[in-house]
């Protein structure tokens, strides 16, 4: 009888110990994070504008957090490969994703994906933001936004706008613009920016909202009518922002890049990663890399960023459904 009591006592002790271990282990993991290199999945090729910025951010985080942050250019399948690799990774903070609004808020409404964007991934931080611009050909007989709207209403479907493809953010943004201003435009999808630029300069394309067009505005080869924001562009201080104009105020939410982790990643680790990104975005070298590509550091922590992501996800989903955009 005594040995049975001893047995039960030992079993209770072992159970309590195991339970305590389960409770303590995540805390220890969080306390020691990061204890090995962190992989940042990036769905675009090396050398692009934000990719260059991201590598400087990664270097800063290595200095402040004591471990390497390695950018993995995992391209293909419309960014689904990088996102899925993150979504199916261990939720321990050592595999994270950095991706733009298009992949996180638009693509899920257009394609069948092997993961659920909002269920399998959680936000860490918003890293950067840039605003959409309205650039038109020098051949288009308008000098400002009110004239553009009036001309478009007088000539429904005559104004063509170029984007990087069907279902792209530019395409969806064009639908928002048409609905908000009560106008009709003609969408022209391009496979690359080079053809879009040459057509714009030659007057074969009337409008684009791609930031790459700003360099041609500086050269006098195209006209900037506004930036979809309440704040003017630093490089174009004389050009009024949309918020200053007496026209319908359509979406000014901007385009962002954000960092994401697999669902189930401990909140303590999410907060550590967010803090690391936040510090890096104050680095003058990071800011100087952003300036030439008209991107601003725009940090939001996980909770604030979640609200922005949810709002954008709903907005673009509704526009895609209402306009009948289909890429499959």
- Given a contact cutoff of 8 angstroms between Cβ atoms, the answer to whether 207 and 178 are in contact is no
Task: Give the global pTM.
Answer: 0.81
Domain 33-130+254-323 shares a fold with domain 133-244: yes
Nearest C-alpha neighbor of 319 from the set 106, 163, 1, 162: 106
Q: Are 204 and 162 in contact (CB under 8 A)?
A: no
Assign 49 a pLDDT band (cuts: 50, 70, 90). Answer: confident
Q: Look at residue 8 in the predicted model and tell me its pLDDT.
A: 44
DSSP state of 229: S
The distance in angstroms from the start CA to the end CA of the chain is: 72
Residue 14: predicted pLDDT: 46
pLDDT band at 183 (very low <50, low <70, confident <90, very high): very high
Classify residue 142 by its DSSP letter. Answer: -
The Cα-based distances of 190 to 73, 137, 171 in angstroms read 24, 16, 11
- The correct CATH number of 33-130+254-323 out of 3.20.20.70, 3.30.365.10, 3.90.1520.10, 3.40.190.150 is 3.40.190.150
Q: Which helix (H) or strand (E) holds 198?
A: helix 193-202
Residue 22 pLDDT > 60, yes or no?
A: no
Query: Does 58 have pLDDT greater than 90?
Result: yes
- Predicted confidence (pLDDT) at residue 4 exceeds the cutoff of 80: no
Of the candidates 79, 100, 87, which has an alpha carbon nearest to the alpha carbon of residue 256?
100
How do the domains of the chain map onto residue ranges?
33-130+254-323, 133-244
- % of residues, the chain, pLDDT over 70: 90
- Of 17 and 146, the structure prediction assigns the larger pLDDT to 146
- Return the pLDDT at 126: 97
pLDDT score for 24: 46
Q: What is the CATH number of domain 133-244?
A: 3.40.190.10
| Burial degree of 141 (CB within 10 A; 0-12, 13-18, 19+) | exposed
Residues contacting residue 119 through CB under 8 Å, at least 6 positions apart = 263
Chain segment 89-135, per-residue pLDDT in tens = 999 999 999 999 999 999 999 989 999 999 999 999 999 998 889 99
Local structure of 139: helix, strand or coil: coil
Q: Which residue, among 191, 196, 220, 226, has the nearest Cα to 208 in the 3D structure?
A: 196
Spatial strand order of the sheet with 121-130 comes to 69-73, 38-42, 95-100, 255-262, 121-130, 296-300
> Could you read off the pLDDT of 125-169 as tens digits, one per residue?
999 998 889 999 999 999 999 999 999 999 999 999 999 888 888
**Closest among 110, 177, 114 to 321, alpha carbons compared:** 110
Residue 1's Cβ-count burial label (10 Å; 0-12, 13-18, 19+) is exposed
Integer Rg of the chain from CA: 24
204: three-class secondary structure by DSSP = coil
């Amino acid at each position: 009888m005594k040995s049975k009591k001893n047995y039960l006592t030992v079993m209770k002790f072992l159970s309590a110990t195991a339970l305590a271990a389960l409770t303590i282990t995540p805390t220890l993991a969080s306390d020691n994070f990061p204890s090995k290199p962190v992989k940042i999945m990036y769905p675009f090729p090396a050398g692009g504008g934000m990719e260059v910025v991201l590598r400087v951010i990664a270097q800063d985080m290595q200095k402040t957090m004591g471990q390497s942050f390695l950018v993995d250019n995992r391209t293909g399948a419309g960014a689904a490969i990088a996102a899925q690799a993150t979504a199916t990774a261990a939720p321990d903070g050592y595999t994270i994703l950095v991706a733009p609004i298009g992949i996180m808020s638009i693509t899920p409404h257009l394609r069948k994906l092997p993961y659920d964007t909002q269920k399998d991934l959680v936000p860490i931080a918003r890293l950067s933001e840039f605003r959409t611009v309205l650039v038109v050909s020098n051949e288009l007989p308008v000098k400002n936004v009110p004239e553009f709207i009036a001309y478009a209403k007088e000539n429904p479907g005559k104004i063509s706008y170029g984007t990087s493809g069907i279902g792209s953010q530019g395409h969806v943004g064009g639908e928002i613009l048409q609905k908000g201003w009560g106008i009709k435009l003609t969408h022209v999808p391009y496979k690359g920016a080079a053809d879009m630029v040459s057509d714009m300069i030659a007057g074969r394309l009337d409008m684009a909202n791609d930031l790459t067009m700003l360099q041609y505005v500086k050269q006098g080869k195209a006209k900037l009518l506004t930036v979809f924001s309440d704040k003017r562009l630093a490089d174009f201080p004389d050009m009024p922002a949309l918020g200053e104009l007496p026209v319908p105020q359509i979406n000014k939410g901007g385009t962002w890049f954000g960092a994401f982790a697999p669902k189930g990643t401990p909140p303590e680790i999410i907060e550590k990663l967010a803090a690391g990104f936040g510090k890096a975005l104050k680095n003058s070298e990071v800011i100087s890399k952003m300036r030439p590509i008209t991107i601003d550091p725009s940090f939001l922590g996980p909770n604030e960023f979640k609200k922005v992501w949810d709002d954008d996800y709903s907005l673009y989903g509704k526009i895609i459904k209402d306009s009948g955009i289909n890429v499959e």
